[in-house]
Amino acid sequence: MSLLDKLETILILVAIGLGLALGQVGLVGPWAKKLISPFLVVMLFGLFVKTPLAEIGKCFKNLKFTLTSLGINFIWIPILGYGLGAIFLQNPDLRIGYLMLLVTPCTDWYLIFTALAKGNVTLSTSILPMNLIVQVILLPFYLLIFAGLAGSVQLEPLAASVFWTVILPLGSSLLIKWLIQAQSPIRQSLDRFFAHGVFLFLWLAIFCVFASEARQVWDNPTQFKILFPPVILFFGINFFVGRLAGSLGRFSHEDSVSLTMTTLARNSPVALAVAVVAFPAQPLIALALVIGPLIELPVLAVVAQALLWIGRGQRSRALNG
């Protein structure tokens, strides 16, 4: 884990703090609002560039793991998220943001926590392109099916946001990959830049989100407390679901760790990008997507340590048996 990886949570908190503080100064807020979408588009372009989409077929070498992961991520979790949101979140905007957080699996730092927990990182990496593509395809449908029930989603702005924040950067990244070979100096420079550049533009986007809506956030100080119970419950329930699925599937401990992390980690920047463009007049949706990871990251660190402890126990029993 690099120094930047270790500091990501702190740096996100810094972005939020600076945004809340500076957003009330002069023209910072209005200008920040104009810069959110450009920063997110560049960030997603970088994410798609550094994601090996051409290797998506490799995940089917372990078909049982892939189908189990897809089933939990894209069937079970949306149902669980909708149920928890309906129970705990009366505000429809927070409920939409919460749902968007849950239905978009993580596409980056879950690999770090998988490595920390001694899981099968290669297997986790193979499922990444599939998770990315499926969530891009299904996110609009989840919003129309679940959030649309409350009349909060309109098709036209949602379609426009998906085009500008997903299809455009994805198509551009595929074009770049087709035009420039991976071994070329230009492509290697691009890959090196976005190795950390993705987080840089995410940081800038988070700063702009909070700077543009600083007054709205200050007027809603209780949102963290409101979101905490359903987010924690999601991780608790899904941890046991992942472990049960690994046991029923007779996965090795390393593969089971990978399944647990793949189905626990959320915080896709795709959801944040869609939210700020599709719902510019509903800042609580983006707020939920930024608050969620602040709860998630410490939880994943605890889960990684718990899985290490479980693995040591299994190895100890195997040696003694």
The CATH number of the domain holding residue 34 is: 1.20.1530.20
| Tokens read off for 151 | 């009349």
Residue 107 falls inside a structural domain = yes
pTM of the model: 0.74
Helix pair angle (92-102, 77-88), 10° resolution: 160
Whether residue 74 has pLDDT greater than 80: yes
Residue type, 274: V
Number of separate domains in the chain: 1
Domain that holds residue 242: 3-312
Residue 321 falls inside a structural domain = no
Residue 292 falls inside a structural domain = yes
- Over the chain, what is the mean pLDDT? 82
Q: DSSP character for 166?
A: I
- Backbone angles phi and psi of 261, in degrees to 5: -70, -35
Distance CA 26, CA 29 (A): 7
Residue 58 falls inside a structural domain = yes
Q: How far is CA 115 from CA 128, 225, 259, 305, in A?
A: 15, 31, 12, 11
Q: What is the secondary structure of 111-154 as a DSSP string?
A: HHHHHHTT--HHHHHHHHHHHHHHHHHHHHHHHHHTGGGGT---
Residue 320 falls inside a structural domain = no
Q: What is the pLDDT of residues 12-47, one digit of tens each?
A: 778 878 988 898 888 888 888 888 878 878 887 887
Residue 105 falls inside a structural domain = yes
Distance CA 94, CA 284 (A): 6
Higher pLDDT, 5 or 209: 209
Residue 319 falls inside a structural domain = no
**What angle is formed at CA 303 by the lines to CA 235 and CA 123, rounded to 5 degrees?**
95
| Tokens read off for 197 | 């550049």
Residue 161's pLDDT band (cuts 50, 70, 90):
low
**What angle is formed at CA 271 by the lines to CA 265 and CA 272, rounded to 5 degrees?**
105
Which residue in the block uniquely carries the two structure tokens 């997603």? Answer: 44
CA 22 to chain centre: 26
Residue type, 143: L
CB 190 within 8 A of CB 49: yes
Residue 68 falls inside a structural domain = yes
